[in-house]
Chains A and B, each alone.
Chain A
Amino acid sequence: MGAFEKLDPLLHNQLRLAVVSLLVSVESAEFAFLLENTGATKGNLSAQITKLKEANYISVEKTFRNNYPLTTCKIEPKGVQAFESYVKAISGYLKR
């Protein structure tokens, strides 16, 4: 039996994986979009976004719209690569 590939601990978390999966599918997404579609709390989502940003998996831009702060996230090439590796690795686990 072949060895199991190591799972990226940063992506092997439900909320972080949900965020990265959304960002892989769009060009950019606002914080509110991520909040609505992950069902997370603001604090938890904010914390996980920070972890992904520190790992350079995503980039975060803070601007304003109609005088309200607007946070927009975008996947980075490192994040795309990590996501692809994770999908390949987890597929191996789930096939067995």
Chain B
Amino acid sequence: MSDFSEQNPLELINEMISVAKRSFVKMSYYFLLWGWLLFAAGLTEYLLRTQLGYAHIAWIGWPIVGVLGGILAAVRGNKESKSAGATTYMNRVFTYLWGGFVVTLVLYIVASVMHHTNPGPGIIILTGLPTFVSGGIMRFKPLLIGGCTFWVLGIAAHVLPAEWSSLLFCLALVLGYLVPGYLLQKAERDGRV
């Protein structure tokens, strides 16, 4: 026996679909976390290498930030997945997209170090892909633009002198992670994404 006296079935379906959309992972946290951490590491490298005369340890910020960011992201991700109560296709796509990106990045860095080449410009270009794809999946234009920004600044980093690459990475992080991240955070709070 039906009991739709209170609510139109299609209204109910739309309401439940809206509810389900709220269980999508809040991606803004990760863009802001990694944006600020990597920005700090990039700025540290630039200052150590070009201003303070410590070029031989200029790389030190990257592994520290990588481990710290990895721990914070994992803790947050674990907490979110336990409290969400539902797994979504979109969350699974993001997990594989960014997980695959991290693996690719690590392998690229290892290969660059083995060949004594600067991985910086390549890292900037690589970061454009998951950023752009995330923007496309979420239909969020600032991230699409952010992804393109990484690509453009990555090319610039290949053309300009090597000492510029960490500064260009910082600029790419501001335009590609931080600005879209804050805009995304607002959109998530407003329920627009």
Report the separation of the CA atoms of residues A30 and B85 in the bound assembly, to the nearest whole angstrom.
Answer: 5
Q: How far is the CB of B1 from chain A (nearest CB, A)?
A: 8
Asked if residues A14 and B3 are in contact (CB atoms below 8 Å), the reply is yes
| Chain B residue contacts of A26, Cβ below 8 A | 20, 23, 86-89
B interface bracket (residues with beta carbon within 8 Å of A): 20 to 34
Q: What is the number of contacts between chain A and chain B, taking CB atoms within 8 Å?
A: 71
Asked if residues B86 and A28 are in contact (CB atoms below 8 Å), the reply is yes
Report the separation of the CA atoms of residues A28 and B8 in the bound assembly, to the nearest whole angstrom.
Answer: 25
A interface bracket (residues with beta carbon within 8 Å of B): 20 to 34
* Stretch of B10-18, B56-64, B149-157 contacting A (4+ beta carbons < 8 Å): B10-18
Report the separation of the CA atoms of residues A94 and B1 in the bound assembly, to the nearest whole angstrom.
Answer: 19
The 7 A-B pairs with the shortest beta carbon distances in the complex, nearest first, are: A33-B85, A25-B20, A21-B16, A29-B86, A26-B86, A12-B2, A21-B13
B-side residues, CB < 8 A to A, are 1-4, 6-10, 12-13, 16-17, 19-21, 23, 82, 84-89, 91-92
10 further contact pairs, Cβ within 8 A, besides A14-B6, A22-B19: A12-B2, A12-B4, A22-B86, A25-B21, A26-B20, A27-B86, A27-B87, A28-B86, A30-B86, A37-B16
